[in-house]
């Protein structure tokens, strides 16, 4: 599903530009307990530590039982109580994954097994208050879902959530959840007679997040939070998972607002998740059946795929279940070929009919009765796709093997603009419009435009990356110190502009969490954020940028799949290059997870209409989804 996020080569762009911790940020000190952070929950007593901005932090709290042994590939079970005082000073282990830069590992450890199956923990950040004042507090709760293509990442990365807790008086929660083939896996032979529908769903990562929200509902008042005012928000795959919570009937009532930053909309049928790749209804390349074939061959039980298929057909279901539950995490991930960021392509988010409706997410949001119609903010970054082109050899060459230089600046910027617009339309504007058309009007949409990176010789990050994917996170979290600076973009010179944009975004986000609408921000000093409308002539999109580039402002914005196709067909920059025009059409509307729904004959017709007479097969590059 997320192959698009795996194609970045391990080069200087990741080494030079993609480092979370600023050069000037010291390593965190060893935490010690603070008696003032003592809290009493129904599961037991817990003590945390002090943190920046006059906050308390409680890290690594279990919200479910470890999904190990017989509970592997089962819905999460409620956590067990503990005795005595639990010291919550360190984040829990990330989910099993192939280690990479999202875990801040050195390059020599990328692609190697990391994490633990015992991963279902959450972190809480709250304004400091003595224990006797907690019961009188009822602060808004914001529940953050980390990104990482649903195959990588950890909540431990986002320590800057404390900034909002301390500066905006909200309770911040982040949670780990099962990832990749441990989080989403549909193998029929695992089903047992006493299984629930959730156990059979295959949507275990989604169910983990629902369980974490159930924990929040039951226990967050012990930390000063209001269980009746919970905002779910996430970025990238975290945005996709926020969409799944909007779509899941099991999450109804567990949250009351939602914010989706650079989300995706991809989901899979059960046939794609389960079947062999060459079935009449083909499965994914790493469907449960294909993985089972790999595992049996690796275990020496079958010589090749055909022999493995024959063996599977003859094995009792209980034997298959016993076999796969007995595999080590190393064996489970052995067939996986990771991308450069250690993300991998697997069916994540399944249309199972219980946890999620048995239909694509966009179809869900077209019917108000099928989703949790809470107030919603949805947005993307203007240049989302530049990150995924920034060392694609089709677009850049490496000077001295390490410095990325754009091969053709105009072509690079043109393709990035089309692909970024496609991301915006498919993952933000279409679902927003579907919700509004279904009768849900509390929908707001934005675009993040900040691109004031420092001038780096040769690399030109303002052009190479611009307002790229993930850059917005630091702004939302009021991170002016550069603790989360993914591209080393933050300098003293651009601090005033960063402060301006960060103040606007964090202000709207927390005002929305508190009141259910972004309005004019907490100090009523920002432009009024108007609701999204299906009327294209209205000012319906909020743009976040510095005053030097127009400032935070509402704009009219007309974009749709149809308009993208028309723009591409009429683009004067392509009038002398019918091949490039046809290539872009294929990349956008056939081969991308954002718009790849059309049949090949649509590309053939488009190419012929616009003067390309070559082979359609030649248009699909190997370095693209």
Looking at 19-28, 281-290, 455-464, which range is the least confident one? 19-28
Quick one: pLDDT at residue 620? 82
Tell me the percentage of the chain whose pLDDT exceeds 70. Answer: 94
Distance of alpha carbon 330 from alpha carbon 171, whole angstroms: 37
From 337, 358, 374, give the residue that closes a domain. 374
Q: Is residue 126 part of a domain?
A: yes
When pLDDT is averaged across residues 54-67 and rounded to a whole number, the result is 98
The pLDDT of residue 156 is above 50? yes
Q: Is residue 172 part of a domain?
A: yes
Tell me what the pLDDT averaged over the chain comes to: 92
Residues 184 and 205 in one domain: yes
- How many domains would you assign to the chain? 3
Burial 94-128 (b: 16+ CB within 10 A, else e): bbbbbbbbbbeeeeeebbeebbebebbbbbbbbbb
Residues 67 and 193 in one domain: yes
Q: Is residue 625 part of a domain?
A: no
Looking at 119-128, 129-138, 302-311, which range is the least confident one? 129-138
When pLDDT is averaged across residues 417-421 and rounded to a whole number, the result is 97
How far from the centroid of its chain's Cα atoms is residue 601's Cα?
32
The pLDDT of residue 80 is above 80? yes
Residues 455 and 569 in one domain: no
Q: Is residue 63 part of a domain?
A: yes
Q: What is the pLDDT of residues 521-579, one digit of tens each?
A: 998 999 999 999 999 999 999 999 999 999 999 999 999 999 999 999 999 999 999 99
Angle at 103 between CA 101 and CA 109, to 5 degrees: 65
When pLDDT is averaged across residues 594-613 and rounded to a whole number, the result is 90
Residues 346 and 385 in one domain: no
Q: What is the pLDDT of residues 263-297, one digit of tens each?
A: 999 999 999 999 999 999 999 999 999 999 999 99
Closest C-alpha among 297, 284, 389, 300 to residue 344: 284
Q: What is the pLDDT of residues 321-343, one digit of tens each?
A: 999 999 999 999 999 988 767 88
The pLDDT of residue 102 is above 90? no
Domain that holds residue 588: 562-619
The pLDDT of residue 399 is above 90? no
Looking at 55-64, 92-101, 426-435, which range is the least confident one? 92-101
Quick one: pLDDT at residue 165? 98
Residues 451 and 467 in one domain: yes
When pLDDT is averaged across residues 393-399 and rounded to a whole number, the result is 88
The pLDDT of residue 378 is above 90? yes
Quick one: pLDDT at residue 227? 98
Q: Is residue 5 part of a domain?
A: no
Residues 58 and 123 in one domain: yes
From 326, 355, 374, give the residue that closes a domain. 374
Looking at 21-35, 366-380, 391-405, which range is the least confident one? 21-35
Residues 501 and 389 in one domain: yes
Quick one: pLDDT at residue 584? 95
Q: Is residue 98 part of a domain?
A: yes
Q: Is residue 10 part of a domain?
A: no
Quick one: pLDDT at residue 11? 37
Quick one: pLDDT at residue 549? 96
Helical packing angle, 561-570 and 578-589, nearest 10°? 170
**pTM attached to this predicted model:** 0.94
Residues 413 and 450 in one domain: yes
Quick one: pLDDT at residue 19? 41
Residues 523 and 611 in one domain: no
Distance of alpha carbon 358 from alpha carbon 338, whole angstroms: 29
Quick one: pLDDT at residue 394? 87
| Secondary structure letter of residue 358 according to DSSP | S
Residues 328 and 441 in one domain: no
The pLDDT-based confidence of 4 (bands split at 50, 70, 90) is: very low
Residues 299 and 389 in one domain: no
Residues 540 and 578 in one domain: no
Distance of alpha carbon 331 from alpha carbon 298, whole angstroms: 8
From 349, 374, 399, give the residue that closes a domain. 374
The pLDDT-based confidence of 623 (bands split at 50, 70, 90) is: low
């Amino acid at each position: 599903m997320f192959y698009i996020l795996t194609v970045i080569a391990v080069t200087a762009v990741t080494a030079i530009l993609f480092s979370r911790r600023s050069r000037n940020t010291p390593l965190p000190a060893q935490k010690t307990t603070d008696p003032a952070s003592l809290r009493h929950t129904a599961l037991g007593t817990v003590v945390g530590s002090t943190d920046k901005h006059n906050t308390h932090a409680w890290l690594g709290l279990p919200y479910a039982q470890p999904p190990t042994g017989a509970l592997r590939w089962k819905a999460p079970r409620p956590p067990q109580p503990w005795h005595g005082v639990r010291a919550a000073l360190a984040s829990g282990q990330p989910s099993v994954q192939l280690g990479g830069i999202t875990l801040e590992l050195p390059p020599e450890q990328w692609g190697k097994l990391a994490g633990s199956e015992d991963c279902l923990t959450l972190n809480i950040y709250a304004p400091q208050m003595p224990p006797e004042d907690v019961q009188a507090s009822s602060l808004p709760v914001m529940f953050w879902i980390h990104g990482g293509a649903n195959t990588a990442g950890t909540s431990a990365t986002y320590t800057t959530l404390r900034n909002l807790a301390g500066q905006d008086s909200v309770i911040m929660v982040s949670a780990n959840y099962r990832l990749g083939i441990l989080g989403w896996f549909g193998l029929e032979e695992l089903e047992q007679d006493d299984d629930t529908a959730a156990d059979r769903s295959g949507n275990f990562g989604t169910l983990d997040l629902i369980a974490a929200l159930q924990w929040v509902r039951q226990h967050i008042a012990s930390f000063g939070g209001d269980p009746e005012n919970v905002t779910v928000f996430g970025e990238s795959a975290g945005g996709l998972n926020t969409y799944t919570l909007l779509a899941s009937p099991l999450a109804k009532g567990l949250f009351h607002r939602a914010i989706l930053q650079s989300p995706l909309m991809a989901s899979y049928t059960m046939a794609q998740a389960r079947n062999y790749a060459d079935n009449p209804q083909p499965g994914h390349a790493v469907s449960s059946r294909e993985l089972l074939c790999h595992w049996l061959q690796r275990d020496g039980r079958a010589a090749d795929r055909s022999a493995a298929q024959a063996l599977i057909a003859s094995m009792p279901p209980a034997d298959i279940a016993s076999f796969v539950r007995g595999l080590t995490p190393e064996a489970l991930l052995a067939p996986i070929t990771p991308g450069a960021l250690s993300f991998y392509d697997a069916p994540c988010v399944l249309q199972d009919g219980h946890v999620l409706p048995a239909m694509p997410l966009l179809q869900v949001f077209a019917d108000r009765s099928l989703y949790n119609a809470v107030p919603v903010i949805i947005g993307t970054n203007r240049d989302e796709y530049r990150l995924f082109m920034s060392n694609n050899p089709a677009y850049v060459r490496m000077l001295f093997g390490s410095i990325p230089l754009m091969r053709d600046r105009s072509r690079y910027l043109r393709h990035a603009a089309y692909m970024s617009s496609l991301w915006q339309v498919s993952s933000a504007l279409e679902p927003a419009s579907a919700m509004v058309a279904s009768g849900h009007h509390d929908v707001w949409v934005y675009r993040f435009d900040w691109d004031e990176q420092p001038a780096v010789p040769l690399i030109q990050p303002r052009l190479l990356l611009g307002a790229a994917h993930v850059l917005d996170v630091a702004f939302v979290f009021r991170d002016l110190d550069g603790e989360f600076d993914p591209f080393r973009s933050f300098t003293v010179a651009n601090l005033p502009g960063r402060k301006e944009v960060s103040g606007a975004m964090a202000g709207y986000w927390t005002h929305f969490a508190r009141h259910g609408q972004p309005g004019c921000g907490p100090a009523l000093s920002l432009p009024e954020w108007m609701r999204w409308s299906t009327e294209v002539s209205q000012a319906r999109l909020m743009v976040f940028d510095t005053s030097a580039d127009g400032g935070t402002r509402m704009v009219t914005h007309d974009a749709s799949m149809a308009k993208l196709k028309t723009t591409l067909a009429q683009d004067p920059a392509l009038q002398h290059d019918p091949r490039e025009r046809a290539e872009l059409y294929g990349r956008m509307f056939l081969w991308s997870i954002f718009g790849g729904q059309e049949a090949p004959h649509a590309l053939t017709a488009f190419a012929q209409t616009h003067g390309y007479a070559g082979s359609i097969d030649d248009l699909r590059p190997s370095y693209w989804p």
